[in-house]
Chains A and B, each alone.
Chain A
Amino acid sequence: MRPLTEDETKTMFEKLSKYIGENIKLLVDRPDGTYCFRLHNDRVYYISEKILKLATNISRDKLVSVGTCFGKFTKTQKFRLHITALDFLAPYAKFKVWVKPGAEQSFVYGNHVLKAGLGRITENTAQYQGVVVYSMADVPLGFGVAAKSTQECRRVDPISIVVFHQADIGEYIRSEDTLT
């Protein structure tokens, strides 16, 4: 486990800012305690200082997970967000998409959101903007990337993709053994 280097921090923040914009500040600078990002097995964990200090007692090869996993760095040093980060993305999300109850299952099974399943979408969503996907009952289901801007969304036919799937809560079951 180690702190992120400056480059790594930057790549991670750039990815996070696609979803929560400048709200990253609220994650870094929290009034309720000191929280930090730590890298372990190429994965970035968001940990409180207290837990971090406790975790130092566990040797590196035995430590599976600590705090909340935000995502991982790929071999080419790109950052991939994992579904476990949803708890921190959802409250600060700037752009949201609500899916209809009928399309919830499809999304949670790992499919893209089609226009037919689109309930609501935040105004002024640009194309390729990171969005958090909610059910109509405001339960966060995952996140993705807007395939169309809000304007375009209105015109497209019902079977075209509106949000590209990136992660969904179904992964907790589907990839149970790889999520940390």
Chain B
Amino acid sequence: MATCSIEDVLAKAEKDEADKLKSITVIKELDLEFDLGNMLALDKNPPNIREFREKKKDEFLRSLARDNTQLLINEMWKLPTERVDEVIVAKLPEPTTRLPREKPPPKPRPPTKWEEFAKLKGIRNKNKTNLVWDDVHNQWKRRWGYKRANDDTKEWLIEVPETADPNEDQFAKRNKAKKERVAKNEFNRLRNIARTQKIKVPGVGLAPTGQQSKSDLGKAVHVAKMSTASVGKFQDRLPKEKAPKNTGKKRKFQPLIGDFSTEKQKQLDILKIMDSKKPRLDIGKAVNKQMREEDMESGSKKKGGPGKKGRKGNFSGKKGKGAGSAKGGKNRKPRMKLGKR
């Protein structure tokens, strides 16, 4: 029996070995196409339709998938491998199949106001060269931006135009003009963003917002008042109108060592006002007082009854507890006394 079984086992092992060897090699009419970077195999062989019909469909598909996977893995084993932490790793080549991107392409930037206008009028960009010859430096320089050619802000001398005021600072004028152009550009850029996102642009004065607050209105009134030829100098004040806050007024403090008596008087006045604003009857306090009185009354009633026992027997805990549980344990030392004011 034993020998028989050993032979059986050996035979079975041999058969298994053969099966394994057999299973590694797969024969196909057409060779598969591989894209190892994506771990992709393309089988161009037509499926055996007869077999597909006769066999169970699932089984057929599974075997086909297994065979093709085997081929893919065979191909991958041909790659150079190395051992990293007891694991065999193959370096995949670059993928050759182009996969579609995961996310939809970004939407094009909405046209700015100028771009819309240019399209309407058929204005097209003239292509200018990026580099321009600079006569002063004798070299090619960029047309715009930093280190640009013919930079008019870097000039050391400006001719005063005949019509201009001779005392006017032409450099400052140019700088100011440049700054204003930049500011205008930035403003337009923000306006374009606001337009595309359908946000209303706050102008000067009262911006049309969802909820207008009192302070907004106050600011708008202030701006409107200042918008006269005399910068609001002759504008009448409304009765009870408050001066707007944060208008760049400097804070002014009393002197460090001034009149101490007036200072004291001012502080006393403040105290007086604070006192007068207090309610005569503090309801919370009154309720507390009432509650306390009721407590006292009920407490004295209780004391008349079994409470006395508990008090006398200062150390007989059990009795005392029963008697004075409401007052928080009279059997012990009184926990809490009431202090005088």
Contacts and interface: CB of A to CB of B under 8 A. Distances in A.
Contacts of B235: none
A24 B269 CA distance: 12
10 contacts: A3-B263, A10-B274, A13-B267, A13-B271, A36-B260, A53-B257, A120-B339, A123-B338, A124-B289, A153-B336
B268 A29 contact: yes
A10 B288 contact: no
Q: Give the interface residue-count category, chain A.
A: 35 or more
A9 B256 contact: no
B288 A6 contact: no
Interface string B241-256: 0000000000101111
B338 A120 contact: yes
Contacts of B274: 10, 13-14, 17
Given A3-B254, A13-B270, A22 B275 contact: yes
A85 interface: no
Given A5-B253, A28-B267, 9 more contacts: A3-B256, A5-B251, A9-B270, A13-B270, A24-B271, A36-B263, A98-B339, A120-B336, A154-B295
Interface in B306-341: 327-328, 335-341
A38 B339 CA distance: 35
A112 interface: no
A127 B284 contact: yes
A91 to B, nearest CB: 14
9 residue pairs, one from A and one from B, having the closest CB atoms: A3-B254, A120-B339, A2-B253, A120-B337, A28-B267, A34-B260, A151-B291, A123-B338, A122-B339
Contacts of A42: none
A123 B292 CA distance: 9
Contacts of A180: none
A121 interface: yes
Interface in B277-321: 282, 284-285, 288-289, 291-292, 295
Contacts of A14: 274
B336 A151 contact: no
B166 to A, nearest CB: 47
B105 interface: no
Interface in B215-258: 251, 253-258
A17 B267 CA distance: 13
A72 to B, nearest CB: 17
B128 interface: no
B324 to A, nearest CB: 12
Given A124-B285, A126-B282, A28 B268 contact: yes
B113 interface: no
A29 to B, nearest CB: 6
A94 interface: yes
Nearest to B253: A2
B288 A56 contact: no
Nearest to A55: B256
A52 B257 contact: yes
Given A17-B274, A56-B257, A151-B295, A121 B268 contact: no
B286 to A, nearest CB: 10
B214 interface: no
Contact of A94 (B266, B291, B337, B341): B341
A22 B271 contact: yes
A111 interface: no
B62 interface: no
Interface in A20-60: 22, 24-25, 28-29, 34, 36-38, 49, 52-53, 56
Contacts of A22: 271, 275
A14 B267 CA distance: 12
Interface in A136-180: 149-151, 153-154
A127 B263 CA distance: 34
Contact of B339 (A3, A9, A96, A126): A96
A119 interface: yes
B284 to A, nearest CB: 5
A98 B340 CA distance: 12
Contact of B256 (A2, A96, A120): A2
A43 to B, nearest CB: 15
Nearest to B294: A151
B264 interface: yes
Report which residue of B254, B270, B337 has the largest number of chain A beta carbons within 10 angstroms of its beta carbon: B270
Contact of B336 (A3, A37, A38, A121): A121
